[in-house]
Amino acid sequence: MPINNPKKGVSSIKTLHTVTKSAARQTDTADFIELYMLEKEKQRLMSEETKILHRLDYVQNRLRIIQNIYEHSSHLLDPQNRNRNNMYGEETKNPGFTTIQIEY
């Protein structure tokens, strides 16, 4: 619908502007809510950080335990030492399967 009177259109725009301006929030209330939400987010993140640090501590302790086990049992994993550290003091020439004779 075309506007017949340009003044009427301008006054409508001004009226719309004043209605929109009066409908805007009060800045004090908006600032308070924003600060409140930021504080809640800060508390949540600090709590999450604490949980993560506890979990990290657990993981690091477990990794240390595993590393100690590997250090103490590394001689068992080395195939060259397996032949030398035979409990009978004999060196086996074939590190694979051995056959034994069974008498019936």
Tell me: the pLDDT tens digits for 40-54? 999 999 999 999 999
| Total domains present in the chain | 1
d(CA 28, CA 101): 95
Neighbour-count burial for 14-41, b at 16+ CB within 10 Å, e otherwise: eeeeeeeeeeeeeeeeeeeeeeeeeeee
97 falls within a domain: no
Q: Are 82 and 76 a contacting pair, CB within 8 Å?
A: yes
103 falls within a domain: no
Tell me the pLDDT band of 59, cut-offs 50, 70 and 90. very high
48 falls within a domain: yes
Task: Indicate the helix (H) or strand (E) that contains 39.
Answer: helix 27-72
Q: Are 95 and 80 a contacting pair, CB within 8 Å?
A: no
80 falls within a domain: no
pLDDT of residue 90: 54
Residue 31: is its pLDDT beyond 60?
A: yes
Residue 103: is its pLDDT beyond 90?
A: no
79 falls within a domain: no
What is the mean predicted confidence (pLDDT) over 15-37?
72
Residue 63: is its pLDDT beyond 70?
A: yes
d(CA 53, CA 59): 10
Query: Containing domain of residue 65, as a range?
Result: 8-74
Q: Is the pTM of this model over 0.95?
A: no
Q: Are 22 and 16 a contacting pair, CB within 8 Å?
A: no
69 falls within a domain: yes
87 falls within a domain: no
39 falls within a domain: yes
